[in-house]
Amino acid sequence: MLKILQKHTLIAITLVLLMIILSQFQWHFAFANGLVINFQLIGLIGLSAFFALGEQAGSIVAFIGLVISLIINPGSWLMGLVMILVALVMWLIMGRHIPLNVHLNRNQLISLGLFSGSLQFIWSILLAGGMSWYLAGYRTSLWMIYLTRMTGPALIIAILVVIGLPLLTGWLRTYTEDLRPPVPPSGSVEINLSKPKKDQKGRK
């Protein structure tokens, strides 16, 4: 049990560090009023933690990594919000169905990546598009320019989530899955192999 805890702790620390490092690599987008949006891959690491460490430990790791990333790079707020929304939807749909004592096969991991990547793109476009519509003063021509510029980075990150999430989650779960067989009950067990007595009623 201690070795498992140490292993999970080491993985958690590594994932937090990866989130902090990846928060420095970004597609930078600045609005005319000075507002900055950064498209990053921190969501990939946060979602991998969620699925590889379990919903509770994974959520804590993702939250710690996100807070530190926001302190270092405040422009990470949009991708942090997208990560939270994607994780929330995934938890509501399937989070409780993939505990660490269940093995995820290749098809399940691919489905996980496709669904998470699709949600990543949808939430990115909805949030960035809605904000750009507001900042554009509800002018369709300017809003389309903003949205077109942001669609490319959002799509690239979504594709990377589709590809990277199954690979990273599958690799991490080889160390975190607990597939030990159930412990048999202790003590003696009485097994009655005798045939049931026939009902003698009605016989004379």
* Assigned domain for 46 exists: yes
Number of domains in the chain: 1
CA distance 51 to 72: 25
* Assigned domain for 145 exists: yes
* Assigned domain for 202 exists: no
Going by C-alpha positions, the residue among 103, 99, 98, 115 that lies closest to residue 165 is: 115
* Assigned domain for 143 exists: yes
- Per-residue pLDDT averaged across 36-50, rounded? 78
Residues spanned by the domain of 59: 2-28+36-176
Q: What's the burial of 187, exposed, middle or buried (CB within 10 Å: 0-12/13-18/19+)? A: exposed
* Assigned domain for 199 exists: no
pLDDT at 118: 92
pLDDT in tens, 54-111: 878 888 888 888 888 888 877 777 778 888 888 888 878 776 667 777 788 889 899 9
pLDDT at 163: 93
Given a cut of 70, is residue 198 above it in pLDDT?
no
CA distance 86 to 90: 6
Going by C-alpha positions, the residue among 94, 118, 114, 96 that lies closest to residue 166 is: 114
First to last CA, the chain: 65
CA distance 173 to 49: 10
pLDDT in tens, 129-174: 787 777 766 777 777 777 777 787 788 888 988 999 999 999 988 8
Given a cut of 60, is residue 203 above it in pLDDT?
no
* Assigned domain for 201 exists: no
Three-state secondary-structure class, residue 112: helix
Given a cut of 70, is residue 13 above it in pLDDT?
yes
* Assigned domain for 52 exists: yes
pLDDT at 39: 67
CATH (domain of 18): 1.10.1760
* Assigned domain for 193 exists: no
Predicted TM-score (pTM) of the model is 0.75
